[in-house]
Structure 1
């Protein structure tokens, strides 16, 4: 049986993203996933369900001209059903670039990611990169 602990699920999620397996990463989402995107930009706010989250990620790839990347920079830090993961995310587009650290906080229940809250070290730079649309 596959390990369903929060750290194991979070690790599979980030491994899938790293290898470009977006469908595999999204398969770990609960049908009721709630995603909290920080800031004051076109992507900020709450998304509900895999379709809304997937559409947002697709739009981010479009705005970043396919350059948006996320890398895990440290060990997962569990606390009950939550796992905080230090990350670095980058992207470039005409006239703007972004390269900063953050924390992705995943809540995992019954082997599925039910909630994601993202934290960025430089909100104003991230907002400027994504723009208002």
Structure 2
């Protein structure tokens, strides 16, 4: 059985993110994407639009001294949503984490229209993200 096209698209988005390829992400993200991050840190909240999401990505890399990494473990998809089980690691100064996240994407017209992050250790993420 072949993978759902949305699963393939999201896997390609993770690869583009890892390479810093914003042009490739432009093809995957809706122009008015809504990106929701939990927690109580400088990255938390809802970021609306590609420019706001890319600005947050820049802050993420600055805060984590370029150490932020995502390892995709499993991707499940249907016509409306994609769920990705991922390992996430990062450090900032003496603080670091290696946690498991579930990312949920709402798809619209073949693009990611909305993204939610959930984590197994929000306290660790907040400590690193400040």
| TM-score, normalised relative to structure 2 | 0.89
> In the alignment, which residue of structure 1 is the partner of 2:103?
104
CA contact (8 A) 1:9 1:113 kept: no
Change (3 A) 1:103 1:124: same
Larger displacement relative to structure 2 (55-64 or 7-16): 7-16
CA distance in 2, matches of 1:100, 1:26: 27
Is the counterpart of residue 57 in structure 1 residue 49 in structure 2? no
1:68–1:26 Cα change, 3 Å = farther
- Tell me if 1:69 matches 2:69: yes
Match of 2:40 in 1: 40
Pair 118,26 (structure 1): closer, same or farther in 2 beyond 3 Å: farther
Q: In the TM superposition, what is the alpha-carbon distance from 1:80 to its structure 2 partner? A: 3.7
Q: Deviations over 1:66-103 (max 9, x none)?
A: 111111012x1124410100011111121211110111
Distance 1:48 1:78 in 2: 23
2:115 counterpart SS class:
strand
Structure 2, unaligned runs of 5 or more: none
Q: For 1:88 and 1:44, how far apart are their aligned partners in 2?
A: 19
Q: Cα distance, 1:25 vs. partner?
A: 2.5
Q: Does 2:30 correspond to 1:30?
A: yes
Which residue number in structure 2 is paired with residue 8 of structure 1?
8
> RMSD between aligned alpha carbons?
1.6
Structure 1 unmatched ranges of 5 or more: none
5 Å matches for 1:76-115?
76-115=75-114
Q: TM-score, normalised by structure 1?
A: 0.87
